[in-house]
Amino acid sequence: MNPARIFLPLFAAASLTSAVADDRPNILFILADDLGWRDLACYGNKFYETPNLDRLSEEGMRFTQAYAPAPICSASRAAFLTGKTPARLGFEFVTKNEPGFQPVDASLRAPAFTLNLSTEEKTIAEVLAEAGYETAFFGKWHLNRHHGRYLGWSPTHGPPAQGFLHATEDFGSHPYSYWNKKEQRKFSPKIEHAMLPEDGMTGHAIRFLRGKHERPFFLMVSHFWVHTPVHTRAKWLHDRVLKRIPDTHPRRGELAQYGAMVETLDHHVGELLAALKAAGLEKNTLVVFTSDNGGHPEYFGNAPLRGSKWNLYEGGIRVPFLVRLSAVIPPGTICETPVAGVDLLPTFAEVAEAAEADLPSDLDGKSILPLLQKPDAEFSERDLFWHFPYYHPEGKKYDDAPEKIGIDDGFTSKTKPNSVIRSGPWKLIRFYESGVGDELYHLPADLSEQKNRAASEPEIFGKLRGRLDAYLNQCGARMPVPNPAWQKND
C-alpha cells in the first residue's frame, strides 16, 4: 500500500505535499444511534428538518446504499472499530451485565452473550495511533459489560484500553441523563423558545477541536441520539415538529417526540461542524457521518424499507452515510455503490497512510477511497455479509410480538436467527429455524423486499447460499443450536 501516491495529487490545488509539515487529513467520525435511512431531510424525510446534516450532504457525498455492519448496537460498533463483521468477531448481539444465554422460549438457542470487545482486536484508534494520529473518543461506547451503571465504561475494555488517548464519559443532554428522575420526564419551562439544553458530550468534543494539535487527529463522536427513551423537554421543538405531521397519522405523538430528537441530533452535529470550521480545520478534515443500525420500528418506521433495528431486512441495516473532504469530494455528489461500516478502518488507514503491515490480516472491509475520489469509479464487486444468530425481543416480549416483519407498521416484530449475503443486486436471507424458508430478493426492483424469488431463481439462490455458508464457515461464525430447554407447543 502506498496511499500517499494516490491521495496527495488530489491536494495539489491546496498546496499540500508530504514535504511540508504533517498535512495528512484529520478524521472526524460522527456516529448516530438508531437513526434510520429516511430520518434525514436529505434522504427524503418530509416531517423533520435537518439543515446541518443536509448541508454536510450538499458539501460532500451522500451514499444511497450504505450499510451498518449489524442491526443492533454493540455488534455494529465492534465491527465499525475493527473492520471485521460480527460473524468473524463472534460479537453479534448487545453487551449484558452477566454471561449467559437469551431467555427466549424458542426451538434454537443463540450463542452465549459476548460481554466485551476483546483487547486483542486492533481498533481504528490503535491503527491510527501507530500512524502518528492523536485519538479521542466522546459518547456512547457500549462495547463492554456495564460497569458501575448502564453503559458505564470498563477500565479494562473501555475506550482508553482500545487506543483512544483522550476519552470522557458523558450522557450529555440525552434523556439517559435524567430518565431516572421521573419528575424531569416532561417539558421544561426553563428551556426558552429556539433554545436547547447544552450537550456536555458535544462540549467535550468541541473543546478537543479547539485545543492545540501538533499532529493530525482522529476524533470519534458517538451520539446517544436518537436512541430510546424518545423524549424532548423542549416544548417549542416538539410543537414545531408536531405541526408538520398529519392529524391522521396513527403515531403522530410518537413521531413528534422522535422528530424533536432527530432535530436535536442535527443541532449538535451543527455545533460540532461549526467548531471545526472556527478552528480552521474544516478544509483538511475528513468528516464521516452514519448510524449504527436502522431505525426503531415504533417511530418513523423506515418506509419504503421493510423491517427495522433488530432484523436484517433493509430497514435494519441500510443507513444514512455522508462524507465530506473538500479537497477531494465535489459538492453534492451522490454515490450509489454499496458500502459497509466495516470499510471505515481500511479507508481511514489509507487516508492516514498507515503501514499495511500494521493492519489486521483478516479484515472484511475495503477502502472506499476510490469512491470518494470518483463516485462512479470501478469498484470491484464483492459480497457483503451479515450474521444475527439471535432472537428478538427477549423473554415474554418475544411470545407476544407479531410474527410478520412489515413496513412502517409500528410494531417490534419477531426476529429469528438468520444470516444475509448481498451480492450485486441480489440479497439472500438464510433462516435457521426448521420450517422457516430462506428468502431471495432483487433489490433494484424490490427495495421493500416483498417478492421472494428463492423458488423462481434456483441457480442464483444456490450460488449465494453456497457463498454465504462458505464465508460463515471460513470465519468460524457461531451458530444457533437446538435449545435443550424448549418445550414445543403442539
Cell numbers describing residue 46: 418530509
488 occurs within a structural domain: no
pLDDT tens by residue, 231-287: 999 999 999 999 999 999 999 999 999 999 999 999 999 999 999 999 999 999 999
Check residue 21 and give its pLDDT.
67
Q: Does 406 share its domain with 476?
A: yes
- 402 and 378 in a common domain: no
Based on the fold, state whether residues 203 and 296 are members of the same structural domain: yes
Per-residue pLDDT tens over the stretch 188-221: 999 999 999 999 999 999 999 999 999 999 999 9
| CATH number reported for the structural domain that contains residue 82 in this entry | 3.40.720.10
Angstrom distance (rounded) from CA 129 to CA 135: 7
Find the mean pLDDT for residues 40-58. 98
Which residue is associated with the grid cell 464457515? 473
Beta bridge partners of 419: 387, 430
Residue 73 catalytic? yes
How confident is the model over 360-367, as a mean pLDDT?
Answer: 96
% of the chain exceeding 90 in pLDDT: 91
- Does the annotation count 142 as an active-site position? yes
Choose one of 321, 355, 382: the last residue of a domain: 382
Residues 376 and 404 in one domain: no
266, 320: one domain: yes
If asked whether residues 377 and 399 sit together in one domain, one would say no
Burial of 208 (0-12, 13-18, 19+ CB in 10 A): buried
Which of 382, 397, 413 is the endpoint of a domain?
382
Phi, psi of 27 (to 5 degrees): -130, 125
Q: For residue 206, how far is the Cα from the chain centroid? A: 22
Assess if residue 348 is contained within a domain. yes
pLDDT, one tens digit per residue, over 474-483 is 999 999 999 9
How many domains, the chain?
Answer: 2
Classify residue 58: in a domain, yes or no: yes
- pLDDT tens for 409-419 read 999 999 999 99
Of the listed ranges 91-105, 293-307, 375-389, the least confidently predicted one is 375-389
User: What is the SS3 string spanning the chain?
Assistant: CCHHHHHHHHHHHHCCCCCCCCCCCEEEEEEECCCCCCCCHHHCCCCCCCHHHHHHHHHCEEECCEECCCCCHHHHHHHHHHCCCHHHHCCCCCCCCCCCCCCCCCCEECCCCCCCCCCCCCCHHHHHHHCCCEEEEEECCCCCCCCCCCCCCCCCCCHHHHCCCEEECCCCCCHHHCCCCHHHCCCCCCCCCCCCCCCHHHHHHHHHHHCCCCCCEEEEEECCCCCCCCCCCCHHHHHHHHCCCCCCCCCHHHHHHHHHHHHHHHHHHHHHHHHHHHCCCCCCEEEEEEECCCCCCCCCCCCCCCCCCCCCCHHHHEECEEEECCCCCCCCEEECCCEEHHHHHHHHHHHCCCCHHHCCCCCCCCCCHHHHHCCCCCCCCCEEEEEECCCECCCHHHHHCCCCCCCCCCCCCCECCEEEEEECCEEEEEECCCCCCCEEEECCCCCCCCCCCCCCCHHHHHHHHHHHHHHHHHCCCCCCEECCCCCCCC
Q: Judge if 59 and 132 occupy the same domain.
A: yes
Is residue 44 assigned to a domain? yes
Buried b (16+ CB within 10 A) or exposed e, 210-231: eeeeeebbbbbbbbbbbbeebb
What is the CATH classification number for the domain harbouring 477? Answer: 3.30.1120.10
Same domain for 335 and 472? Answer: no
Give me the catalytic one of 42, 142, 147, 268. Answer: 142
Q: Which one of the listed residues 73, 267, 296, 392 is annotated catalytic?
A: 73
CA 385 to CA 472: how far, in whole Å?
Answer: 9
pLDDT of the residue at 5: 38
Verify that 396 and 333 share a domain, yes or no: no
CA–CA dist 269, 263 (Å, integer)? 10
Helix axes 51-59, 252-278, angle to 10 degrees: 50
C-alpha cell at 74: 454493540
**Cα–Cα distance between 7 and 65 in angstroms, integer?**
24
pTM higher than the cut 0.85: yes
Whether 487 is in a domain gets the answer: no
pLDDT band at 379 (very low <50, low <70, confident <90, very high): confident
- 225 lies in some domain: yes
Domain-terminating residue out of 355, 382, 409: 382
Structural domain includes residue 148: yes
**Does residue 254 lie in a domain region?**
yes
Tell me the pLDDT of the chain averaged across its residues: 94
| pLDDT tier at 300, thresholds 50, 70, 90 | confident
43 and 55 inside one domain? yes
Q: Which residue range is the domain that position 468 belongs to? A: 385-482
Residues 371 and 394 in one domain: no
Are 357 and 394 in the same domain?
no
Q: CA-to-CA distance for 322 and 286, rounded, in angstroms?
A: 11
Q: Which residue has the cell 444475509?
A: 420
**pLDDT tens column, 5-32:** 344 444 433 333 333 468 999 999 999 9
Segment 125-179, tens digit of pLDDT: 999 999 999 999 999 999 999 999 999 999 999 999 999 999 999 999 999 999 9
